[in-house]
Amino acid sequence: MSSNPNHAPQFPPVGLARRIGAMVYDALLLFSVLFFATVPLLAFTHGEALSSQHPLYSLYLLAVSFAYFGWAWTRGGQTLGMKTWRIEVVDAAGGRISWRQAALRFVAALLAWAPLGLGFVASLWHPQRLAWHDRWSRTRLVRAVAQ
C-alpha cells in the first residue's frame, strides 16, 4: 500500500480519450522497442527478414511487449505514454501493482481489443471508468499529479 497522495481515491477516474492518447503514444514507443528487439535475431537469419507468422517470433514479440508494460507498471506505475498523459496504474488500495496483476492486465487488455475494442469502450458506462482489464486485474487508472 502506498502512502503517496497521488493515489488517493478522490482523484477522478481516467476517461477513454486520455487512455487512447496514452495508447497511441505507447504504440509508437513499443514499435521502436520491437524494432530494436528484432535486430539481434537477424544474426540467426543471415540478415533476412523475419516472418511475423512464425510462432516463436510472435511469442518473442509478445514477451518483449509484456516486458515493456510489466516493468513500467510494476516499477513506477507508468509507461512513457502514461507519463505524458498523466495517468498511473494502481492496485485497489492505491499502491503499486504486482507482476501477477501486470500479467493479468496485459492479457486482459489484449482480450479487450479482440471484440473491436469493446473492452475499452465499456469504460464509458462503468461508474469508475474501469475497462475490462482494469476489473479483471483489480487495478485502475488514476490521474497522476505533475511532479
3-state secondary structure the chain: CCCCHHHCCCCCECCHHHHHHHHHHHHHHHHHHHHHHHHHHHHHCCCCCCCCCCHHHHHHHHHHHHHHHHHHHHHCCCCHHHHHCCEEEEECCCCCCCHHHHHHHHHHHHHHHCCCCHHHHHHHCCCCCCCHHHHHHCEEEEECCCC
CA–CA separation, 6 vs 4, rounded Å? Answer: 5
**Which of 7-16, 69-78, 109-118, 128-137 has the weakest average pLDDT?**
7-16
CA angle 120, 67, 30 (to 5 degrees): 65
Amino acid at 40: P
**Residues of the chain with pLDDT > 70: what percent?**
91
* Predicted TM-score of the model (pTM): 0.86
CA-based torsion, 98, 102, 105, 108: positive or negative: negative
pLDDT (0 to 100) of residue 74: 98
Residues 30 and 83: their CA atoms lie apart, in Å, by: 15
Question: Cα(3)–Cα(14) distance, rounded to whole angstroms?
Answer: 21
Bridge partners of 90, per DSSP, are: 140
Q: pLDDT tens across 49-80, in order?
A: 777 778 999 999 999 999 999 999 999 999 99
Check if the beta carbon of residue 77 is closer than 8 Å to that of residue 88: yes
The residue ranges of every structural domain in the chain are 12-143
